Amino acid sequence: MKGVVFITGASAGFGESCARRFAQDGWNLILAARRIDRLRELQQELGGEKIAYILQLDVRDYNAVKSAIDQLPTDFQAIDILLNNAGLALGLEPVQTGEVTDWETMVDTNIKGLLYCTRNILPGMIERNRGHIINLGSIAGNWPYQGGNVYGATKAFVQQFSRNLRTDILGTNIRVTNIEPGLAETEFSIVRYKGDRTKASKVYAGTDPLTADDIAEIAHWVTTLPPHVNINSVEVMPTSQAWGGLAIARKK
């Protein structure tokens, strides 16, 4: 066993693929998500309770996060890698008609949930003077697009927090990496369109998008480099995607 990886949002998408990739390489896992049934299935697939400890956890609840981490079994307490993956986008409405409840869910999950997990796991890493925090950002934190307003802002927060976190822990042997995927086919668009699979499928029509396994491979790779090497950020798109030109509104 190489160590312990704590993965949020582990019941699907990037988190699920990361769990498989790290388990393949001999890591033990703490898998956290709200959908406990899916976690149980993944746990059994990966080798059972000795390999994967599962937590039904909503990262938006600070007390629940703190309690879960404080009560981890002895064999899973020394967390070597924190993969802050839990996150989502909801809707594509412009700010003037956006749903405030959707904004709150994105802020509470993408920002607060990441903060809560980091705050409760980082002290142990500092005490052991080792660890790696991997945050799942997005190209939406770097480049705007119509309807990406609050979601993009939350991912810009993830990027800047990752940078500032590195400055706070300078002098330790702890690494921080922000992974920023572009177009990737997971449950992301199904969630964004609130279960409308027809709309979600159109997002990927005619493209060859990134997969969850692609991102898992990158997450695993950054942890395998020599300890003195820190990959600050990885911005990754499929070859079928690139930056667009600047939008111009013309008078009619």
Question: Which domain CATH number covers 107?
Answer: 3.40.50.720
Active-site residue (options: 62, 151, 193, 204):
151
Residue 228 lies in a domain: yes
pTM: 0.95
Catalytic-residue membership of 151: yes
Percent of the chain predicted with pLDDT > 70 = 100
Percent of the chain predicted with pLDDT > 90 = 91
Crossing angle of the two packed helices 212-224 and 13-24, in degrees rounded to 10: 50
Residue 246 lies in a domain: no
Residue 247 lies in a domain: no
Assign 1 a pLDDT band (cuts: 50, 70, 90).
Answer: low
Residue 44 lies in a domain: yes
Average pLDDT of the residues in 189-218: 93
Domain enclosing residue 156, as ranges? 4-236
Residue 244 lies in a domain: no
Residue 242 lies in a domain: no
Residue 167 lies in a domain: yes
Domain count, the chain: 1
Q: Which among 175, 183, 182, 180 has a CA at the least distance from the CA of 222?
A: 175
